Amino acid sequence: MFRSPLIRDVALLLARIGIGSVFIAHGWQKLFDFGIDGVAAGFDQMGVPFATAAAWFAALVELVGGAALVLGLATPVAALLLVANMAGAFVFAHAGNGMFVDQGGAELVLALGAASLVFAGLGSGRLGLDHVIAPRLQPGPSAVAS
């Protein structure tokens, strides 16, 4: 098992870039391709309460939260918002459609939500802006890891 802090930090960086990029793309799509009105109409058909507010929340959390992940900025907060967003997507859009995304299933939202949960717990690592701005606020190794 690799125990090098550098390997951990590089792994977190690469994962943040990958997952954050997916969120950015989906947030961009909601804002600029579908438009908030189109997203809200879709949410309304799925039974999402306060569909317009939920559409704004989802679009902005995905776009801004994804960018925050890529930068490693306010990572735990951004990640928890993304977890909440994916939980909503799971409940309202995907849970009843099985697992596979080609059938409207939950695999993508589960993977994105789980990855976001990891970032909420581990933070950005040393290769993120969180470490530069407030290194003392970065989560440290747990007692379990000892």
Q: What are the boundaries of each domain within the chain?
A: 5-137
Residue 70: CB atoms within 10 A of its CB come to 21
Confidence band of 84 (pLDDT split at 50, 70, 90) = very high
Distance CA 123, CA 137 (A): 9
* pLDDT score for 3: 79
Confidence band of 144 (pLDDT split at 50, 70, 90) = very low
* pLDDT score for 146: 45
Query: What predicted TM-score, i.e. pTM, was given to this entire model?
Result: 0.90
Distance CA 55, CA 88 (A): 11
Confidence band of 145 (pLDDT split at 50, 70, 90) = very low
Report the percentage of the chain scoring pLDDT > 90.
Answer: 88
Give 99-125 pLDDT, tens digit per residue.
999 999 999 999 999 999 999 999 999
The string of DSSP letters for 10-68 reads HHHHHHHHHHHHHHHHHHHIIIIIIHHHHHHHHHHHHT-TTHHHHHHHHHHHHHHHHHH
